[in-house]
Structure 1
Amino acid sequence: MQNKPTIHTILSPSLLKLYNVSDSIVVIIDVFRATSTIATALFNGADKVIPVSSVEDCVTIGRNLNAITAGERDGKIIEGLQHGNSPAEYPRSFIENKTLVLTTTNGTKLLHMALDNGASEVITGSFPNISAVCDHLISLKKNVILGCSAWKDKFNMEDTLFAGAVISRIKEHFTVHCDSSMMAEDMYRLHKNDIYSFIRKTTHWHRLAAYGLESDLEYCVTEDVANVLPMYKNSALVRS
């Protein structure tokens, strides 16, 4: 019988260096809010999303491509950019057939780290596109690294919760010999029936709710409301 591919979960970008990503699909997870926003923009017809690490690159690329520039640092829109990191800012009536250049505190950083370390494929995931992510991972039969963007390299619960949700759906197709993956699945199993209450305990909830973003955060843990698969190709995330 052929060995099953493996799943590992990294709880912080600072742990990525401990893993060989060259033979793995890396799923970038930044539930609050980058990967939820990316899925939403593409679901609503965006041509592509270009993730960049720096504000300067965001401004320059946006100007060169006549694209929409967006980003946040510490939950706030960056001065000089047009829009923020809220999924609600990207309805079809606004984003369809447009290019979005996005820089965020944590998610875009981890994405570029995965690429720099030679990941064989990079996709992005959050609850709004969980089914597309899981179907893709099952179909490819390759090793998977679930990469939690965390918060400034510190563990956070919401990204780990999503990793656990993915594992609970696909584990029969994989070998899971990874304590962080087992912990993530246990967290999800314990709280899957009260997710809206559970996320109110997270530090990121308190950080972003202070800016009136409660409805954003609830959307970000709602399954399959933007069920597309963002895949990194030719320097941009596009619908697979």
Structure 2
Amino acid sequence: MEKRTLHTVLSPRLLDLYSLSDGVVVVIDVFRATSTIATALSNGARAVYPVAGVEQCKQLGQKLGAITAGERNGQVIEGLLHGNSPAEYPRSFIAGKDLVLTTTNGTKLLKMALDQGAAEVITGSFVNLGSVCQYLVSSNKNVILACSGWKDRFNLEDTMFAGAVVAQIERHFHMNCDSSLMAKQQYQLHEADMKTFIRQTSHWHRLKAFGLEKDLEFCVTPGGAEVLPLYNPQNGTLNAVALG
């Protein structure tokens, strides 16, 4: 049987160059949307509603009686109850509740993938690396690792996560993709000193100004929230999927 393909998309601006109709798109926004989504779901959130706009977030939250949360440029949006920090969603707070979330980069990319006809969309970060890899191997679809970046620009933390995925699953795929090769080699070069290396990134410095260092360290720690968030197009939610 012919092997499936695996590609890494380094910026949302490049997404339309790839066919998504027969693939699983992994939306990656390590700092912090996809880390927060995994954390909320692993701590018992009933569902996460990712939305692109602030007003939509407010309106849907009011309609559902849900927690509304989001950020723009790293800061909590005025009029929303909570931010985009994994630390804000412990089990004692989020279990059994719905979360409506809007962010600068991650939720926008998820909508783009859906608009371009992605067969399936999941979200990934270091905190649920194992679950993402397990799902991609067991799926019978091609894989697109889609990095959210920062306002359409390349960033290192999303690319490093893509590289971590590639390093674990590439033997199951046909990989003729320079961005995947680069991501894997960059990850392997810094895997042992990730928390030190990541401090050099532009996004670290941007968010450090808001006192978020502990957040960011958690976001690059593998296994902190092992759950598989899968998008359900019927009701517009990300839900935790049980893996066999």
TM-score by length of 2: 0.97
| Aligned-partner Cα distance in 2 for 1:134–1:124 | 11
User: SS where residue 27 of structure 2 aligns?
Assistant: strand
Which digits, 9 at most, give the CA deviation of each residue in 1:135-156, with x for residues without a partner?
A: 0000013100000000000000
Q: 1:236 — aligned with what?
A: 237
**Displaced runs of 4+ in structure 1, greater than 3 A?**
none
User: SS where residue 143 of structure 2 aligns?
Assistant: strand
| Aligned-partner Cα distance in 2 for 1:239–1:211 | 30
Q: 2:155 — aligned with what?
A: 156
Q: 1:131 — aligned with what?
A: 130
Q: 1:119 — aligned with what?
A: 118
Q: 2:188 — aligned with what?
A: 189
What code does the residue aligned with 2:227 have? V
RMSD in angstroms over aligned alpha carbons?
0.4
How far off its partner does 1:124 sit?
Answer: 0.2
Q: Any stretches of 5+ residues in structure 1 without a counterpart?
A: none
**Do residues 219 (structure 1) and 229 (structure 2) align?**
no
Q: 1:60 — aligned with what?
A: 59
| Aligned-partner Cα distance in 2 for 1:109–1:228 | 22
User: SS where residue 109 of structure 2 aligns?
Assistant: helix
TM-score by length of 1: 0.99
| Aligned-partner Cα distance in 1 for 2:188–2:173 | 18
Q: Any stretches of 5+ residues in structure 2 without a counterpart?
A: none
What code does the residue aligned with 1:99 have? D
What code does the residue aligned with 1:239 have? A
Q: 1:22 — aligned with what?
A: 21
Alignment of 1:80-119 (within 5 A): 80-119=79-118
Q: 2:168 — aligned with what?
A: 169
What code does the residue aligned with 1:237 have? L
| Aligned-partner Cα distance in 2 for 1:17–1:143 | 16
Which digits, 9 at most, give the CA deviation of each residue in 1:51-102, with x for residues without a partner?
A: 0000000000000000000000000000000000000000000000000000
| Aligned-partner Cα distance in 1 for 2:197–2:184 | 15
User: SS where residue 7 of structure 2 aligns?
Assistant: strand
| Aligned-partner Cα distance in 1 for 2:223–2:141 | 23
| Aligned-partner Cα distance in 2 for 1:39–1:189 | 24
| Aligned-partner Cα distance in 2 for 1:26–1:165 | 16
User: SS where residue 137 of structure 2 aligns?
Assistant: helix
| Aligned-partner Cα distance in 1 for 2:68–2:198 | 29
| Aligned-partner Cα distance in 2 for 1:3–1:105 | 38
| Aligned-partner Cα distance in 1 for 2:173–2:239 | 26
| Aligned-partner Cα distance in 1 for 2:74–2:57 | 17
Identity across the alignment (%): 65
What code does the residue aligned with 2:231 have? Y
- Number of paired residues? 239
